[in-house]
Structure 1
């Protein structure tokens, strides 16, 4: 609790400068041009990135600048034994910084992959300007040569996906109360982006693999390369090319490219349904009618007698039936076809905080199961 209060007091102190920095950057409309950046030399790339971060940050950037050789030392030359994650963006290694001995996660972006200079800059800027207990902390970055590397705090329990979907044989599933705690924390991270950041930030890539867990299974949102600054000046949406992960995108965004904070609410609903059911949003190994999680769940939402059929069987009945009903009600509201009928993230937080606290109060085993 003390950590939360400390972070909140820091936010109050920096809110004016933060608002000014992000708003000025938004007004320049240079974010849209990052995808077209080209450099004649490595030094020009490094200079450009450093200048942009300095210009936009207005002195608020706290991220450390690392030389590539420092991160080679930290990861034992990116040794395979240090590899802790891999995706479309590149690879993540566990490392230890020389001198401070701080344990970190080092994300080396694929130089030939999707995430280019624009996404790299967006991530550095957003995580340097926005700070919250439920957002992953950016320690620093490296832009040496053609290397684009992000250095984060190390999250001991990896991603939510690691503990929820396709569990290895013998791996203990997450208890119901732990699942509700993770959902509530992730929702608080979105609440900060939507309702405290000014202008609001639309995450645009909310999924289980982007929710990281510390040693106590507290969640933090990560991977902000696709994030967009939300609409301002009376505008209702941001128009952009459709990006994100198939299955998690809101239908109106997938069809029109019109992005709002309600697009994130839909994605949250998908992940929350994964948390409840233990099923992937798209699973081609299941029968045809069950391969799309949301399509499978929609008719079940309408029949309370079938709610128990939706629970992850690995829970073996260890959950509160009342809590299940409430959780599925929240998921169903978030997954409304019409964006306007979806709840605000603050309302989702209120509902999930109640579920998480209620579960803890009734915990009779001390291990998160009831």
Structure 2
């Protein structure tokens, strides 16, 4: 998590977990970021973001001289059911959302590279958005007034060009197993065990070339273990009969159908399954879990710059942050 909410310290310890995604940015235009496993890999999950309740209760945005009737177009892959009414009520701007999973939004951004139809992108695909910044597609050298609400951890991921801001993090993968196949004693408990002959042909994961959260999961091993060891690890998984699916929902379906018995699965998918009463259980490996960082960026040539900036300020506002945290907390409150 990237928030600095003193009343939510248990949430702040959730996702101090890093991935190669963080190094991708560090090797680019951001200041150095370290990669370490989570201090508490058994903590509850969250996707919230980046501000402190000590700050102002209202979004710290300037009122534009004139508001257009055209909506601000935001591409995103989560929080769509709550962010639109929240933002419109708080600012008076109209919002049009284009939603999809990480792969779908990334593909759309690439297809529209020469003629973007979006004003703001907000998704957990920091390497993709970082590359867009390097390609000159993003607004640079604008610093949100609320950027001071970022935690020190979050500030590591702000590029020197200020072309995007981090707003949250979640686990790119945790271990999930089918309870009809395994129990707490027999299920794999570490990433290393996934390559064990005990689980030959039983393990699945999403394709890192398609599913946005799968990229930092894979890259984390290269970061933590080195290039050679990371390559050897995934070669051992493939030799052990690893099933690779296009997206995390495909992995979830294979897991419940019995096609696979355990998986490296994105955290929110895992807890949705658990809350739905699916025959699964979740393990946070002792080695930690890699984080997928959610960031927001403004399209360089947007015609709605004031509204776009207001949206970024809104995301970093403490009241917005707390609402997003509470949403995730409610989603997991029924878990044992």
TM-score (norm 1): 0.24
Greater relative CO (CA pairs within 8 A, separation 6+):
2
- Structure with the higher fraction of residues in helix conformation: 1
